[in-house]
Chains A and B, each alone.
Chain A
Amino acid sequence: MLSALVHRELITVLRQRRMLLLQIGLVGFFALLVAVRWPTDARVALSGVRAQQVFRLFSFGLLGMLLLLLPVFPATNIVHEKQQGTLALLLNTPLGPWRLLLGKLLAVMALAGMILALSLPAASACYAMGGLSAKLLCAVYGLLALVAIQYLTLGLLISSHANSTDAAVRWTYASVLGLGVLSLGPHYFFQGTQGYMADVSEHLRTLSPFAALMSLLSAGDVGGSGLISTTDVPGRFAIASLVIAIVAALLTVMRLNHTIFDQARPAGKISNDQSWQVQTVRRIFFLVDPQRRSHGIGSLTNPVMVKEFRCRRFGRLHWLLRLVAVCAVLSLALTYATTAGTLDWGVETIGSILVVMQVALIVLITPSLSSGLLSQEVESGGWQLLQMTPLSTMQIVWGKLLSVVLPLALILCATLPGYVVMVYIEPGMELQVQRVVICLVATAVFAMLLSAAVGSLFSRTATATAAAYSVLLGICAVPMLVWLGRDAPFGHDVVERALQLNPIAAALSVIRLPGFQDYSLIPANWWFLGIASVVSLIVLIVQTYRISRPR
């Protein structure tokens, strides 16, 4: 019975044409990773340094690919079955929750195995070059297998709790970003210091597969600044990932029963009908109460924009206001701590934290807001209804974009108090701060238009969201991989050219964060973002006209 389940799950995914394209793309990507740094000289150093450099780049590329491609499969798995009604059928069979989970896990593990297997020829090429031990090769692949298990179980857990496929995709990628990348952040700033925060950040970074892989490949720490850590990061990561996988699997099993369907329809309670005490508490708690009776849409307001705000769960005003409030308080607190001398980080470091915090928010939130602008309408049947209204295509697109622009503007405003205090402390930084703000605005616009354009190419929201996240994270992550390989195997020029594509790197170089200060990324990065944004906008408009015109 279990094999039948695995077979069905695998066949469903593998028979799709896009899987074939994905496999071809992956083989090409892995080959490219090796070919780019393959020695072309007549002589090769016997020490095998070159092979290690190539393998290092290849390993990070492989890890990046796993993190970008894999999560979408488990994330959509259970929630999609729930929506299709097939989960009810499965729960009605003698297959228990354990076997169900195992079947699904094995199926997605097989996909992970396929991705890793596709990389083997390229890995063998690195090995054949000499200088690499079989032990290291096995250790890297073992680590990647652990990464796959951890994120696949996590994806299945999120999928079992989500009510829509795009929400599942969004939360899964958020957890990937949080565990994989953001967990490295505190360590970067607290490394080499003593105290509670240093210990916490040290533990936190062991959750990241990047830290574990860097340690395994003897590539040091993220922005290590010459400091050597004695922590067994791969070991700790292995334990942490296994614990996370086991806990996630247990929680998923607990969810795979009747309780997954046992949900009452939302009653549609309205705050206006409740007592004034309740109304007051809700007003204080929510700032903008989502359950208050809304007023009619203003005659001069774009109705599509209001509709988008009203029908989204994440990204409604009360959430954004809370987020902005937290960011504003954090940025002010950081700046105050530096001013008061509690922290000796310097203004540049504080600026970097603000930049990273803001870019992380933009990268995390923007695809979830803008990738499904068209696909959600097409999928729900709302597009047909919109077409039957006198609203023009441009009005619809503009309304939809406005509904993303406003939350992004709020996010951008979140750290403004921090920058203002920074300029007050160090007036000489005014130009830098101005440039950083321009970088952030350009990043927000680019992220919005790119996500919307990529999303418009798909008719299903989950696919659109996953594709938008993959492309945006790819643009943000791949140049960082090149940056990690600065000095060896990549030279200054190659790293600079790669970073010119990266909006985060541009902002960090402007704020002169160590590691980025040597690269001149402005205005090349602005040109790239501008051109890419215009192209994305054109794609979005063309796609909108394409689905709008009568067939």
Chain B
Amino acid sequence: MASDKPVVVMERLTKKYGTFTALDDLTLTLYAGQILGLIGPNGAGKTTAIKILVGLIRPTAGTATIAGADCVRDSHKIKRLVGYMPDTFGAYDNMRVREYLDFFGAAFGIRRRDRIQRIEEVMDITGTGYMRDKYVVSLSHGMQQRVGLARTLLHDPQVLILDEPVNGLDPQARIEMRDLMIRLAAFGKTLLVTSHILPELSRICDRVAILTHGKMRAFGTVEEIGRQVSQRRTMEATLASADQVSAAAQTIREIIEADAEVVEVAQEATVRFRTARQESELGDVLTRLVQSGIRVTQFREVQTDLEEAFMTFARATEPAGDTPPVSGGRAHA
């Protein structure tokens, strides 16, 4: 459902608190029907970027627009265009789910008859119909997240901005939330989602932006980001016996680049290495291993996943000495 019409545009967005820069020169464009995953460690500037978009924070420099409406000057338009789900639910005591949705519907000025119908629709979309008479404070976290999503959908916004929507959810609730977000994108909604749960994001996002220390370090599809992480690919040779791991690692070192990283994982009877060699040259590696009497049961490329990419960027921007030691085998240059 993605189109080439830009919906969310951030241009050199910067936010400073005194001398501290929370967001540094962020430029990003999101098209209609796309899902953008905004990832980064705590304090990376994700929530700051989101709050600027929804008009809760003023940027120090730069501009942000949603469907052509400026996030600073046109805050009234933004409220109609955006459905914002913050990382805190915002429950009210003694209020039932239907009353809760009724209040927010009324706050958005939806007429009573239309509102009643719309509440039924959003409860149907989010699967919250069965909890309509329950008190919102008594709901589990997963249920509250769904009600929160129903609340953001009430006024049928063009863009949904969800801050940590799957945080704290159990696996089943996480899968349901993921499916729900995909369904909303299929309806033509544009979604901007932040999360720490990277496998979830990699499955649903069209684009991913990695932020650390307020700066965008990478942007693109998961595959594009994987390529940005390194020009070298990770290969893995699984052996029939753990006894041959050292011999296999030695053989591989003789063939590939001298500075290549080769890791022996004896527990898994595996040798992993990173190389820039092409397919045909990798075939030679396999041939040499077999000729050396090493029994190889599997020889494959390991895809760079979002977690690995994220960790690469996060570590690259950490101050010296903060990087935790690598474990799980010996690293050789």
Contact = CB atoms under 8 A, between A and B. Distances in A.
Interface of A: 164, 265-270, 273, 293-294, 296-299, 301, 303-304, 306-307, 310-313, 316, 380-382, 384-391, 550-551
A270 B97 CA distance: 12
B115 A296 contact: yes
With a 10 A CB-CB cut-off, give which of A164, A294, A385 has the most chain B CB atoms.
A385
A375 to B, nearest CB: 14
B79 interface: yes
A381 B102 contact: no
Contact of B103 (A297, A312, A313, A316): A297
A550 B55 contact: yes
24 contacts: A266-B138, A268-B134, A270-B133, A273-B133, A294-B102, A296-B106, A296-B116, A299-B106, A299-B112, A304-B107, A306-B106, A307-B92, A310-B99, A310-B103, A311-B93, A313-B93, A382-B92, A385-B86, A385-B151, A388-B56, A389-B107, A389-B108, A391-B107, A550-B57
Contact of A381 (B72, B89, B105): B89
Given A299-B112, A381-B89, A551-B58, 4 more contacts: A273-B133, A294-B102, A299-B106, A311-B92
Contacts of A386: 107
With a 10 A CB-CB cut-off, give which of A164, A269, A310, A316 has the most chain B CB atoms.
A310
Interface string B70-102: 001001100110101010111111111011001
Contacts of A381: 86, 88-91
A380 B106 contact: no
Interface string B104-146: 1111110110011000000000000000011100100000000
Nearest to B86: A384
B26 interface: no
Given A299-B112, A388-B54, A389-B79, A312 B106 contact: no
B90 A390 contact: no
A437 to B, nearest CB: 33
B62 to A, nearest CB: 15
Contacts of A385: 86, 90, 104, 151
B91 A380 contact: yes
Nearest to A308: B92
Given A296-B116, A307-B103, A381-B86, A268 B135 contact: yes
Contacts of B103: 297, 303, 306-307, 310
Contacts of B104: 385, 389
Nearest to B161: A388
A297 B102 CA distance: 7
Contacts of B105: 296
Contact of A164 (B72, B91, B92, B93): B93
Contacts of B112: 296-299
Contacts of A387: 56
Nearest to A298: B112
Contacts of B75: 550
Interface of B: 54-58, 72, 75-76, 79-80, 82, 84, 86, 88-96, 98-99, 102-109, 111-112, 115-116, 133-135, 138, 151
A310 B95 contact: yes
Nearest to A316: B94
Contact of A310 (B91, B94, B115): B94
A416 B93 CA distance: 33
A294 B106 contact: no
Given A164-B93, A293-B133, A388 B115 contact: no
A247 B26 CA distance: 63
Nearest to A296: B112
B91 A313 contact: no
Contact of A299 (B80, B98, B111): B111
Contacts of A380: 90-92
B111 A303 contact: no
B156 to A, nearest CB: 14
A267 B96 CA distance: 11
A301 B103 CA distance: 11
Contacts of A268: 96, 133-135, 138
Contacts of B90: 380-382, 384-385
Contacts of B138: 265-266, 268
With a 10 A CB-CB cut-off, give which of A268, A296, A307 has the most chain B CB atoms.
A296
Nearest to A387: B56
A307 B94 contact: no
Contacts of A294: 96, 99, 102
B56 A296 contact: no
B96 to A, nearest CB: 6
B234 to A, nearest CB: 42
B92 A266 contact: no
A319 to B, nearest CB: 12
A390 B55 contact: no
Nearest to B15: A551
Nearest to B72: A550
Contacts of A311: 92-95
With a 10 A CB-CB cut-off, give which of B102, B106, B111, B115 has the most chain A CB atoms.
B106
A298 B107 CA distance: 11
> Closest 8 A-B residue pairs measured CB to CB?
A303-B106, A381-B88, A265-B138, A389-B107, A311-B92, A381-B90, A268-B134, A297-B106
B321 to A, nearest CB: 32
A93 to B, nearest CB: 27
A316 B99 CA distance: 15
Nearest to B112: A296
B95 A307 contact: yes
Nearest to A303: B106
Contacts of B99: 294, 310
A550 B58 contact: yes
A502 B58 CA distance: 45
B109 A312 contact: no
A111 to B, nearest CB: 29
A295 to B, nearest CB: 8
